[in-house]
């Protein structure tokens, strides 16, 4: 006849199961997929303030970002308060190089140009390698500060030019420069909150 399991043994087994499950959840978040809350209106209309997305951390280790990808990354130091460019540049050009130190904060933006691409900005629209891009996801900024940079720059090797979809309300690479590949955390691939906006990006 099988001996019934003791209450102490059942409790220990439950504790072990919960600990393993918690460890797996933390491991997945740390190394595979991480949730991220949208903190500002810079990605409107694509992403709203408070919306939550999932970021693929491991995929970035095997493939480089592409133009059009929405990514989470560390911006250059000061980008969240007093953005500055790493080099002197004329007002008709975007910032071509960031400061050397990264910030600890996380930003989410769209990749609009990659290594070796030439970029200029016209009324908030990207002119990539001489061609105005079709950007149905973007809210243009019209005319004003940050809207027009007619003289193109070349994105340095190993760097990516980031812009928010809300072109008139986004602190991005226009002001503090392209982001080194090593500062990119991963690509946002889905939104899971609120329920009405669940879906792939």
Q: What is the CATH number of the domain that holds 65?
A: 2.10.109.10
Token reading at 65: 């970002």
Give the pLDDT confidence of 106-163 residue by residue, as tens digits. Answer: 999 999 999 999 999 999 999 999 999 999 999 988 766 789 999 999 999 999 999 9
* C-alpha distances in Å from residue 136, one per residue of 60, 69, 148, 167: 25, 14, 19, 12
Q: Is residue 23 part of a domain?
A: no
Q: Is residue 14 part of a domain?
A: no
State the pTM of this model.
Answer: 0.83
Q: Is residue 192 part of a domain?
A: yes
Residues 6+ apart with CB under 8 A from 66: 111, 114
Give the pLDDT confidence of 22-71 residue by residue, as tens digits. Answer: 444 444 444 467 889 999 999 999 999 999 999 987 766 557 899 999 99
Q: Is residue 7 part of a domain?
A: no
Q: Is residue 19 part of a domain?
A: no
Q: Is residue 169 part of a domain?
A: yes
Q: Is residue 22 part of a domain?
A: no
Is residue 42 among the annotated active site residues? yes
Catalytic one among 34, 96, 109, 170?
109
Catalytic one among 34, 42, 170, 173?
42
Total domains present in the chain: 1
For residue 108, what is the DSSP state?
E
Is residue 34 among the annotated active site residues? no
Segments forming the whole domain that contains residue 126: 29-200
């Amino acid at each position: 006849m099988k001996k019934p399991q003791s209450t102490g043994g059942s409790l220990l087994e439950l504790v072990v199961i919960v600990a393993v499950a918690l460890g797996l959840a933390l491991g997945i978040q740390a190394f595979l997929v991480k949730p991220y809350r949208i903190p500002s209106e810079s990605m409107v209309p694509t992403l709203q303030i408070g919306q939550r997305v999932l970021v693929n951390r491991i995929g970035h280790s095997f493939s480089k970002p592409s133009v059009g990808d929405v990514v989470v990354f560390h911006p250059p130091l000061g980008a969240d308060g007093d953005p500055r460019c790493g080099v002197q540049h004329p007002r008709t050009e975007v910032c071509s190089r960031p400061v050397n130190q990264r910030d600890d904060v996380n930003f989410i933006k769209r990749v609009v140009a990659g290594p070796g691409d030439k970029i200029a900005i016209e009324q908030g629209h990207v002119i990539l390698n001489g061609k105005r891009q079709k950007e149905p996801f973007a809210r243009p900024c019209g005319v004003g500060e940050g809207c027009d940079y007619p003289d193109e720059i070349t994105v340095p090797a190993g760097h990516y030019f980031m812009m928010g979809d809300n072109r008139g309300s986004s602190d991005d690479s226009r002001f503090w420069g392209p982001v080194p590949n090593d500062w990119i955390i991963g690509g946002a691939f889905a939104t899971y909150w609120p329920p009405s906006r669940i879906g792939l990006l």
